[in-house]
Structure 1
Amino acid sequence: MDISVHRPGELTAADRAAWTALQSKAHLQGTPELANPFLSPEFALAVSHCRRGVRIAVVREGGEPAAFLPYQRSRTGVGRAVGLGVSDCQGLVHRAGLRWDARELLAACGLAVWEFDHLVQGQPPFAAFAAADFASPVMDVDQGYPAYLAELRARSPKFARTTLAKERKLGRDAGEVRYVHDERDPEALRVLMAWKSAQYRRTGRGDRFAHPWITQLVQRLFHTRPMPSGGLLSVLYAGERPIAAHFGLRSERVLACWFPAYDPEYAKYSPGLILHLRMAEAAAADGIAYLDLGRGQKEYKDSLKTRELTVSEGWVTRRHPVAIGYRARRVPVRALRNTVVSRPELFEPADRLLKRVGKIRSMRKIRSRE
């Protein structure tokens, strides 16, 4: 097995075409999760414009590309999944039946450790190093939107009935409800990011858009047309006013949900749920197989999902002092967070505390403007 390492911009057109072909054929080879747009060359290239150290390991057999591993490398040899912290799918994009040794791959990349937090299913050499597994809900629309809606009604008739009734009421109260699946107005993206930042502050979470590189990444992906992978901004309007929006990534068969938000003034209409149903309808018509709602426990995800994928987090390590030191710093932090998130008796008080902190922050910001 021949392994070479490249910067994203150094990949040849043939290599990029081979990478894209592996993703487009993944569902035919029993690995449909590899079609996720977070595993695409377009995402790796976009991250490389915003963050240092992005590299692509290319595995060749008989001179032909057989697999691609995007990662980020520090000067000390610490490796992280590309876009770790904002990427919802990670792993090796490979041909069917490929076998590889995780530590051999790391050695070829010059890495002492490789950290992941959304490892895709079907990667045994990496999964052997996983510390925890998590559910990632999805909405299956490969049989068409009517079939999805029928399943939703059968599983939760009250939820489906109530959400559709709220959409009709929204139209009566606020003007005709209009949905744009692929909104190209940059102002709509700015509005979404403002809503999302306010939501982060309101709930006491760290504002991702306070990090310039994340804002830059989203804006770059917004201008990357989804052919075959790129950003997709979807907006729900009431009259001429945007009331909910979502920015995600799409590939040929997967729509990866990423940044949803809505105008709190319209919260009583559940605009976020209405938006997701419209997204599902449009995605089904566009040939998408499923919407990946992403790892995390959220009530709206439980209401919309048809099934769950499994993603993992952990560290692939070699015998190296850097790996020992890195794990010593990172393991306790992740273990504590995962314990709190997985146990309702701990998560609910922590969530309430974060929301109180968020309210205090919001009040201070209002007063500072007066």
Structure 2
Amino acid sequence: MDISVYRPGELSAADRAAWTAMQSKAHLHGSEQLANPFLAPQFTLAVGRCRRGVRVAVVREDGDPAAFFPFMRTAAGVGRAVGLGVSDAQGMVHRPGFTWEARELLRACGLAVWEFDHLVTGQEPFEAGASGTFPSPVMDVDQGYDVYLSRLRAQSPKFTRSTLAKERRLGRDTGSVRYVHDERDPDVLRMLMAWKSGQYRRTGRSDRFAHEWITRLVTQLFHTRSDSFAGILSVLYADGRPVAAHFGLRTERVLACWFPAYDPAYAKYSPGLILHLRMAEAAAADGVAHLDLGRGKKEYKDSLKTRELMVSEGLVTRRHPIAAGHRARRAPVRALRNTVLSRPELFEPADRILKRMGKIRSRH
């Protein structure tokens, strides 16, 4: 393989265009997950402005790009997926039929190990290192919103009736309900991040927006716009006031759901669910094929989904003492967490404890 490694900003315009073209045609070759915004060059460029060690390996065949492999690495050669912890799709973007050898790729990138937690399907050389595979629910809108809503009524009739009734009640109680699919007011983005931080604290989870680089990344992506990629802030207003919002990323065919939150004062109306239905309607009108809700077991995702994609977590290594040490540290932590998440008898009491701690923390 002819492999060159670049900083994201060093990629030529031709390379970025080739990367985008591979994504836009991926669904034609049975690789729809490669079109995910988290695998777009714009996401890697944005992370590269916020974090050190972001690189892109470009694999060429006969002088032309055949694959793009974005990654982060430390000085010791520990590699991670770009944006690990906030990225919902990871892997190599490549043209049809391209194959590679994982250890050869790692060696060329100066990596002893590469860790992932949302590896998309069709990445066989990396899948050999997967320790678990998990569903990522999606909302299919490629046949239009009316078809999606009909499917939702059939599979979740009570949920659909209840959500639509709550939207009508919200309108009656507040005077008017308005939806903006692509809100450009940065003050609303800051409000969303504040809501999300409050939600993290109430539920005892780690506040992602307490990390300055994540706040910078989201703000930067909010201002990133092109025909092939954009940060999309969607907002549900009641009587002129934001009551629910979502920030996600969009390519031509995929809207990746990322940070949804709502004003707790309006919780009885389930504004987050109303917002997701409005997002589906607007995305369908824009030509989006599906909304990717992201890995994670949530009741609202089960209610909204039409099917599931699969993502994997794990790590690939080459023979190196750094790789052995990293595996020894990371594998037990991931195994314990996944055991708790997959077993209700363990997850439910752990979730109650986290929420109790969150309530205590919120008081101070």
TM class, shorter-chain normalised? over 0.9
Q: Distance in 1 between matches of 2:58 and 2:139?
A: 32
Deviations 1:164-206 (A, max 9, x none): 0100000000121100000000000011000000000000000
Identify the residue that residue 151 of structure 2 maps to in structure 1: 151
Identify the residue that residue 345 of structure 2 maps to in structure 1: 345
Task: In structure 1, list runs of 5 or more residues that go unmatched.
Answer: 365-370
Identify the residue that residue 180 of structure 2 maps to in structure 1: 180
The one-letter code of the counterpart of 1:201 is R
Q: Distance in 1 between matches of 2:18 and 2:93?
A: 10
CA contact 1:38–1:89 (8 Å) conserved in 2 = yes
Identify the residue that residue 312 of structure 2 maps to in structure 1: 312
Identify the residue that residue 133 of structure 2 maps to in structure 1: 133
CA contact 1:226–1:250 (8 Å) conserved in 2 = no
Q: Distance in 1 between matches of 2:156 and 2:73?
A: 46
Q: Distance in 1 between matches of 2:191 and 2:313?
A: 32
* SS in structure 1 of the partner of residue 50 of structure 2: coil
The one-letter code of the counterpart of 1:93 is V
Q: Which runs of 4+ in 1 moved over 3 A?
A: none
The one-letter code of the counterpart of 2:144 is G
Identify the residue that residue 32 of structure 1 maps to in structure 2: 32
CA shift at 1:361, angstroms?
0.3
1:285-324 equivalences under 5 Å are 285-324=285-324
1:1-370 equivalences under 5 Å are 1-364=1-364
CA shift at 1:227, angstroms?
2.7
Q: Distance in 2 between matches of 1:125 and 1:328?
A: 21
Deviations 1:204-255 (A, max 9, x none): 0000000000000000000001531121100000011000000010001000
Q: Distance in 2 between matches of 1:157 and 1:340?
A: 31
Q: Distance in 1 between matches of 2:77 and 2:328?
A: 16
Q: Distance in 2 between matches of 1:68 and 1:208?
A: 28
TM-score, normalised to structure 2, is 0.99
CA contact 1:43–1:230 (8 Å) conserved in 2 = no
Identify the residue that residue 367 of structure 1 maps to in structure 2: none
Q: Distance in 1 between matches of 2:178 and 2:141?
A: 21
CA contact 1:66–1:98 (8 Å) conserved in 2 = yes
TM-score, normalised to structure 1, is 0.98
Q: Distance in 1 between matches of 2:271 and 2:226?
A: 25
CA shift at 1:74, angstroms?
0.3
* SS in structure 2 of the partner of residue 324 of structure 1: helix
Q: Distance in 2 between matches of 1:160 and 1:83?
A: 34
The one-letter code of the counterpart of 1:69 is F
Q: Distance in 2 between matches of 1:175 and 1:28?
A: 46
Q: Distance in 1 between matches of 2:203 and 2:158?
A: 28
CA contact 1:112–1:320 (8 Å) conserved in 2 = yes
Query: Would you say how many aligned residue pairs link Structure 1 and Structure 2?
Result: 364
The one-letter code of the counterpart of 2:231 is G
Deviations 1:234-280 (A, max 9, x none): 00000110000000100010000000000011111010000000000
Q: Distance in 1 between matches of 2:328 and 2:152?
A: 45
Identity of aligned residues (%): 78
The one-letter code of the counterpart of 1:56 is V
Deviations 1:5-48 (A, max 9, x none): 00000000100000000000001111011000000000000000
Q: Distance in 2 between matches of 1:255 and 1:138?
A: 10
The one-letter code of the counterpart of 1:172 is R
* SS in structure 1 of the partner of residue 97 of structure 2: coil
Q: Distance in 1 between matches of 2:105 and 2:278?
A: 42
The one-letter code of the counterpart of 2:81 is A
Deviations 1:272-291 (A, max 9, x none): 00000000000000000000
CA contact 1:47–1:82 (8 Å) conserved in 2 = yes
Task: In structure 2, list runs of 5 or more residues that go unmatched.
Answer: none
Q: Distance in 1 between matches of 2:118 and 2:57?
A: 19
Deviations 1:68-98 (A, max 9, x none): 0000010000000000000000000000111
